[in-house]
């Protein structure tokens, strides 16, 4: 009687899960397994916001699997040896998992294939984390797309895989009973942000349904409205695979005016295919611009804590600490501020984001950071975000700032983004830590010198 193991990683759902569907159709008994990876738990990836979301998502997955007759088996240890050992213990012939393209997942997958081969086990990898698999599309003469627009054109025309039906029933191997999940405090020190979204496929489904019913149609007009918060907020669910990106695309595709939203889903795949082809781009410049970064711990701390004296920057950084989430427009503003006003290395900002973001994702985070910093896929190295102008344009009444910066709660309108010195003194709000125009002149001079060289 064939037995298979399905190892869940960041694909925490039963619906449209090609690896689970394949295991259930190939084997009579299936062991759904999640291994808490000691290497990840010991490292910087283990942060309260994301690990808390992960545990909630695992609990939700366990409930879904129990309703199908099984449950989730959770183990902890060195990932490769634990997966292989569990597969051997239950007499499995095959291990199924979703393909992942981060550098760590690729190394871990290679180690699993070696260990499994030595144990006589097959490892079968399935698509499921993206809409179009990394590597499926390539321009003539290249191994990946470096520019978004041609990728988007080819992505729109690419064949889509069909949705994988959830199995009707899953039978565990004899003698296996799913155990309890660990508590967050057993895994990570430090508290979660006070206003994080709940994890899990059930919450993802609720969010997606609400978004399709009321949100996606207006996205084109409203996605940059900072106080309106009119984006889907699906990113943490997509990152942990609580919802399938193909199901999101299918749901959105039925709605009028969904094109701008679909385009954003494509950005996610675009960055995934870059990272798959260029794993070094996780932490090295994709396209070096040659401008040296400064080292200024004082300025970095002011940025982290939302005390730069630029209201929209400070609001965004405080939103990050409070919610483990930041609006996309605000992410661009604070990333530009760190790299082009403070001249600090994009890697320091990317690390800080990954420490707090629930949706923290190496491909989307680090390659967006590079896009803003001018070392990535943006072909315009001169792109600058003026924080005051951006604030007045995308938060004209100052509501976004007031929500997160209580010192400025009495201000209204454009003045919220440009408080004068007397107002700053009166409300205990700091002076700007840098003069934007002087900083940008310096940045442009450094860049110009490099471009002339």
Q: Please tell me whether residue 5 binds ligand FAD under the rule CB under 6 A.
A: no
Q: Please tell me whether residue 134 binds ligand FAD under the rule CB under 6 A.
A: no
Residue 433 near residue 343, CB atoms below 8 Å? no
Q: Please tell me whether residue 3 binds ligand FAD under the rule CB under 6 A.
A: no
Nearer to ligand FAD (CB atom), residue 122 or residue 322: 322
Residue 285 near residue 272, CB atoms below 8 Å? no
Q: Please tell me whether residue 332 binds ligand FAD under the rule CB under 6 A.
A: yes
The residues facing 347 across adjacent strands are none
Distance of alpha carbon 279 from alpha carbon 445, whole angstroms: 31
Q: Quick count: other Cβ atoms within 10 Å of Cβ 438?
A: 10
Nearer to ligand FAD (CB atom), residue 357 or residue 411: 357
Q: Spell 290-319 as b/e; 16+ CB within 10 A means b.
A: ebeeeeeeebbebbbebbbbbbbbbbbbbb
Would you state the structure tokens that stand for residue 130, as one six-digit string?
A: 């993206």
Residue 371 near residue 377, CB atoms below 8 Å? yes
How many chain residues interact with ligand FAD (CB under 6 A)?
A: 27
Question: Considering the complex, what minimum distance in angstroms separates the CB of residue 248 from ligand FAD?
Answer: 8
- Contact with ligand FAD (CB under 6 A) among 41, 45, 111, 267: 267
Nearer to ligand FAD (CB atom), residue 317 or residue 332: 332
Give the interface segment with ligand FAD, choosing from 359-367, 388-396, 416-424, 442-450 (CB under 6 A): 359-367
CA 229 to each of CA 234, 245, 248, 250, 323: distance values in angstroms, whole numbers, following the listed order: 12, 21, 19, 23, 13
Q: Please tell me whether residue 312 binds ligand FAD under the rule CB under 6 A.
A: no
- Contact with ligand FAD (CB under 6 A) among 360, 374, 419, 432: 360
Distance of alpha carbon 98 from alpha carbon 129, whole angstroms: 7
Q: Please tell me whether residue 394 binds ligand FAD under the rule CB under 6 A.
A: no
Nearer to ligand FAD (CB atom), residue 163 or residue 230: 230
Distance of alpha carbon 145 from alpha carbon 268, whole angstroms: 13
Q: What angle do CA 261, 264, 266 make, to 5 degrees?
A: 115
Distance of alpha carbon 122 from alpha carbon 350, whole angstroms: 37
Q: What angle do CA 52, 236, 347 make, to 5 degrees?
A: 90
Nearer to ligand FAD (CB atom), residue 5 or residue 358: 358
> Closest Cα to residue 205, out of 72, 14, 10, 7?
14
Question: Considering the complex, what minimum distance in angstroms separates the CB of residue 428 from ligand FAD?
Answer: 29
Q: Please tell me whether residue 12 binds ligand FAD under the rule CB under 6 A.
A: no
Q: Please tell me whether residue 331 binds ligand FAD under the rule CB under 6 A.
A: yes
Give the interface segment with ligand FAD, choosing from 60-68, 108-116, 327-335, 379-387 (CB under 6 A): 327-335
Q: Please tell me whether residue 235 binds ligand FAD under the rule CB under 6 A.
A: yes
Residues in the chain: 453
> What mask, x for binding ligand FAD by CB under 6 A, covers residues 211 to 230?
------------x-------
Q: Please tell me whether residue 207 binds ligand FAD under the rule CB under 6 A.
A: no
Question: Considering the complex, what minimum distance in angstroms separates the CB of residue 46 from ligand FAD?
Answer: 16
Nearer to ligand FAD (CB atom), residue 70 or residue 273: 273
- Contact with ligand FAD (CB under 6 A) among 265, 299, 312, 342: 265
Residue 325 near residue 233, CB atoms below 8 Å? yes
DSSP 3-state of 149: helix
Q: Quick count: other Cβ atoms within 10 Å of Cβ 95?
A: 27
The residues facing 308 across adjacent strands are none
Would you state the structure tokens that stand for residue 412, as one six-digit string?
A: 């209204």
Give the interface segment with ligand FAD, choosing from 26-34, 90-98, 358-366, 420-428 (CB under 6 A): 358-366
Dihedral in degrees, nearest 10, Cα atoms 198, 108, 283, 236? -10
Q: Please tell me whether residue 353 binds ligand FAD under the rule CB under 6 A.
A: yes
The residues facing 36 across adjacent strands are 76
Question: Considering the complex, what minimum distance in angstroms separates the CB of residue 235 from ligand FAD?
Answer: 3
Distance of alpha carbon 204 from alpha carbon 178, whole angstroms: 24
Give the interface segment with ligand FAD, choosing from 104-112, 157-165, 177-185, 356-364 (CB under 6 A): 356-364
What is the residue whose two structure tokens read 């990106």? 245
Q: Please tell me whether residue 239 binds ligand FAD under the rule CB under 6 A.
A: yes
Nearer to ligand FAD (CB atom), residue 394 or residue 429: 394
Q: Please tell me whether residue 348 binds ligand FAD under the rule CB under 6 A.
A: no
Q: Please tell me whether residue 244 binds ligand FAD under the rule CB under 6 A.
A: no
Nearer to ligand FAD (CB atom), residue 188 or residue 262: 262
Q: Return residues touching ligand FAD (CB under 6 A).
A: 223, 231-235, 238-239, 264-265, 267-268, 271, 328, 331-332, 335, 353, 357, 359-361, 364-365, 368-369, 372
């Amino acid at each position: 009687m064939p037995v298979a193991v399905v190892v869940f990683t960041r694909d925490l759902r039963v619906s449209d899960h090609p690896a689970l569907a394949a295991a259930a159709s190939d084997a009579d008994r299936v062991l759904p397994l999640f291994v808490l990876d000691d290497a990840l738990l010991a490292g910087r990836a283990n942060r309260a916001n994301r690990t808390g979301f992960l545990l909630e998502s695992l609990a939700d997955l366990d409930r879904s699997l129990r309703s199908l007759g099984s449950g989730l088996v959770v183990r902890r240890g060195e990932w490769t040896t634990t997966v292989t050992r569990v597969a051997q213990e239950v007499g499995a012939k095959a291990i199924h998992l979703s393909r992942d393209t981060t550098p760590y997942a690729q190394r871990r997958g290679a180690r699993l294939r070696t260990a499994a081969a030595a144990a006589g086990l097959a490892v079968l990898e399935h698509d499921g984390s993206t809409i179009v698999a990394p590597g499926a599309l390539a321009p003539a003469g290249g191994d990946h797309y470096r520019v978004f627009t041609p990728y988007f054109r080819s992505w729109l025309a690419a064949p889509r895989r069909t949705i994988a039906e959830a199995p009707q029933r899953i039978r565990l191997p004899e003698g296996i009973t799913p155990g309890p999940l660990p508590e967050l405090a057993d895994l990570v020190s430090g508290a979660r942000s006070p206003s994080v979204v709940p994890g899990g496929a059930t919450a993802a489904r609720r969010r997606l349904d609400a978004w399709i019913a009321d949100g996606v149609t207006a996205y084109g007009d409203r996605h940059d409205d900072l106080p309106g918060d009119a984006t889907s907020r699906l990113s943490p669910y997509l990152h942990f695979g609580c919802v399938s990106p193909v199901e999101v695309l299918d749901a959105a595709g039925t709605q009028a005016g969904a094109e701008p939203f679909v385009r954003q889903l494509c950005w996610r795949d675009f960055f995934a295919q870059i990272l798959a082809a260029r794993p070094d781009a996780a932490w090295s410049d994709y396209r070096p611009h040659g401008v040296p970064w400064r080292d200024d711990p004082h300025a970095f701390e002011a940025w982290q804590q939302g005390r730069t004296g630029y209201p929209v920057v400070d609001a965004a950084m405080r939103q990050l600490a409070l919610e483990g989430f930041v609006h996309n427009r605000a992410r661009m503003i604070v990333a530009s501020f760190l790299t082009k006003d403070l001249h600090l290395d994009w890697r320091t900002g990317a690390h800080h984001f990954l420490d707090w973001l629930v949706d923290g994702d190496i491909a989307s985070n680090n390659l967006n950071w590079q896009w803003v910093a001018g070392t990535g896929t943006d072909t315009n190295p001169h792109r600058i975000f003026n924080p005051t102008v951006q604030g007045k344009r995308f938060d004209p009444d100052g509501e976004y700032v007031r929500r997160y910066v209580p010192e400025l709660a009495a201000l209204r309108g454009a003045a919220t983004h440009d408080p004068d010195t007397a107002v700053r003194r009166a409300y205990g709000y700091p002076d700007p830590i840098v003069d934007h125009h002087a900083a940008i002149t310096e940045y442009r001079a450094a860049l110009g010198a490099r471009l002339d060289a």
